[in-house]
Homo-oligomer: A and B are copies of this chain.
Amino acid sequence: MYKIGELAAACKVKPDTLRFYEKNGLLNPANRSDKGYRIYSDDDAQQLRFILRAKAMGFSLSDIRELLNIEASRSDWACADVKGMVEAKALELQTKIDEMTRLRDSLQELADACCGGPESAIHCSILDTLETK
């Protein structure tokens, strides 16, 4: 049984983060002390670690809410559901990667066309390109 600061420290997050997760339905402390302090159980700690691992994998908090729902009643779901979520996330990421790669290539092309020398930028091809495509 942990108080909020203890669990937070154990998982290297701030107490406010746990309150935030609670407010957003991701982690409810098992109970409260007679004076109203949040008391977290080992299961809660495990659930927090689940959340943090999923976050590190790139899932949003609302994705994680879904994963927690599934995890809470695994038998109601198929592997296909879970795998579908993960693959969708991977695809989403890939789409962003592609977009950023195109952007990076454009920038590199822009940079390559510039002499990069110490003289005045009056003739700079980068600025020219941005000025009039």
Contact = CB atoms under 8 A, between A and B. Distances in A.
Interface stretch (A12-20, A30-38, A97-105): A97-105
Instruction: Report the copy number of this chain in the oligomer.
Output: 2
A111 B93 contact: no
A124 B54 contact: no
Contacts of A106: 57-58
Contacts of A107: 57-58, 86-87, 89-90, 93
A128 to B, nearest CB: 10
A55 to B, nearest CB: 10
A75 B130 CA distance: 17
B110 A79 contact: no
Interface of A: 46, 49-50, 53-54, 57-58, 67, 70-71, 74-84, 86-87, 89-90, 93-94, 96-97, 100-101, 103-104, 106-108, 110-111, 114-124, 126-127, 129-133
